[in-house]
């Protein structure tokens, strides 16, 4: 199953680089694994100039899961320039569900992903 766990690592990596690109200086992430289910928690601040990017982030993370795309392209997560829309869209297609809470200058994400046996 390590292949599936690497995908989770790529998701955390991409989100971390994205938030660095939008001015974050406080980033916290966590992973809770329960059998074949993973809950990723991610909290970060961002610079006010990038408020519009948070709207896009919500849109991309709520993209329907696409296992075919995930299996082919997951290794690309974390590559390229931080915050590219294609990277966030890929994350949206890799997860089952996203909960997003925003307050002034801060975002809290809870992402859910089912891991598949190899």
Structural domains for the chain:
2-114 (3.30.565.10)
100 or 63, which is more confident: 100
Query: Which residues face 44 on adjacent strands?
Result: 27, 107
pLDDT tens digit string along 24-47?
A: 999 999 999 999 999 999 999 999
Count the alpha carbons within 13 Å of 27 in the hemisphere toward its beta carbon. Answer: 16
At 1 the three-state DSSP class reads coil
With a CB cutoff of 8 Å and minimum separation 6, the contacts of 113 are: 7, 8, 11, 37, 38, 40, 94, 95, 96
Q: Which of 7, 8, 11, 9 minimizes the C-alpha distance to 87?
A: 11
Please say if the pLDDT value at position 83 is more than 70: no
């Amino acid at each position: 199953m390590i292949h599936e766990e690497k995908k989770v690592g790529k998701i955390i990596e991409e989100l971390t680089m994205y938030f660095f690109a939008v001015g974050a200086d406080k980033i916290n992430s966590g992973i809770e694994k329960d059998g074949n289910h993973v809950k990723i928690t991610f909290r970060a601040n961002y610079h006010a100039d990038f408020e519009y990017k948070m709207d896009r982030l919500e849109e991309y993370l709520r993209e329907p899961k696409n296992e075919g795309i995930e299996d082919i392209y997951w290794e690309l997560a974390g590559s390229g320039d931080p915050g590219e829309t294609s990277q966030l869209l890929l994350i949206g297609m890799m997860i089952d569900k996203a909960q997003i809470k925003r307050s002034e200058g801060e975002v809290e994400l809870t992402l859910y992903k089912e891991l598949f046996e190899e």
